[in-house]
Amino acid sequence: MAFRPLLSRTLGLTQTLTHSHNLSQLRGLQTFSLPDLSYDYGALEPAISGEIMQLHHQKHHQAYITNYNKALEQLEDAIAKGDSSSVVKLQSAIKFNGGGHINHSIFWKNLSPVSEGGGEPPHGSLGWAIDTHFGSMEVLVQKINAEGAALQGSGWVWLGLDKESKKLVVDTTANQDPLVTKGANLVPLLGIDVWEHAYYLQYKNVRPDYLKNIWKVINWKYASQVYGKECP
């Protein structure tokens, strides 16, 4: 009989212990970490300099992830406390930093060194779809470059697939908005970062040159894969 209260007291103690450590893991909050690139920072030269790749990956993308995790933790807290005004206030930070993480994760996969097929145009169903929807690869590239150059401020230019209509679309998003904010059915195949940090050190203010050269390292294999999954 004397044991029971002792047992329940120790159980109570371990409960409080697990509550103070790993609280978020206990409740299942997933945090995010910087994905590795499958190529060296310098492997995309001369289209994109190694200096830019390193800064872009290690500083910018990492910052989005850090702030995204922070915002998610704060959101979890606010939800648990039923603090609606904090929940709503955090939405913009989540959209910005979460979007930054999503977009850059896709971006790294959209690029590959020339030696690994970067720049090679897509064969198969995606290539055919591009010719059907845009006429030719050149027309698509021109369209994307024009929209990318005309974007005011910071943002992304995308080649996306409308899941429902199975049509390819070219669209832009502002700041770090993911493509899905432009249409719930849009799946990003290819995204080009036109924030100044993506090209300034190398191309200065000549964004059109950056857009012209980035095609040499675009990884169409990844875009084809994503396309193939949605349009088998």
176 sits near other proteins (criterion: CB under 8 A)? yes
104 labelled binding-site residue: yes
Q: Could you tell me the smallest distance in angstroms from the CB atom of residue 99 to other proteins?
A: 10
Q: Which of 24, 74, 154, 213 binds other proteins (CB under 8 A)?
A: 154
d(CA 76, CA 87): 9
User: Is residue 123 a known part of a binding site?
Assistant: no
Q: Does 193 show up as a binding residue in the annotation? A: yes
Using the rule CB under 8 A, which residue among 55, 137, 149, 180 binds other proteins? 55
Q: Which helix (H) or strand (E) holds 124?
A: helix 124-134
Binding status of residue 34 toward other proteins by CB under 8 A: no
User: 228 is written with which tokens?
Assistant: 């193939």
- Which part of the chain contacts other proteins (CB under 8 A), choosing from 68-76, 131-139, 196-204, 216-224? 196-204
Q: Which residues, at least 6 apart from 83, have a Cβ–Cβ distance to it below 8 Å?
A: 77
195 binds other proteins (CB under 8 A): yes
Residue 63 binds other proteins (CB under 8 A): yes
Q: Decide: is 49 part of the binding site for other proteins (CB under 8 A).
A: no
Bridge partners (DSSP) listed for residue 161:
168, 187
**C-alpha distances in angstroms, 147 versus 2, 70, 103, 143, 207?**
77, 33, 18, 6, 11
Q: Looking at the chain, which runs of residues are DSSP E strands?
A: 155-162, 167-174, 186-193
Question: Nearest 5°: phi and psi at 166?
Answer: 60, 30
Binding-site sequence positions: 56, 104, 193, 197
Residue positions in the annotated binding site for Mn(2+)? 56, 104, 193, 197
**Which positions touch other proteins (CB under 8 A)?**
55, 59-60, 63, 92, 96, 152-155, 174-176, 195-197, 200-201, 204-205
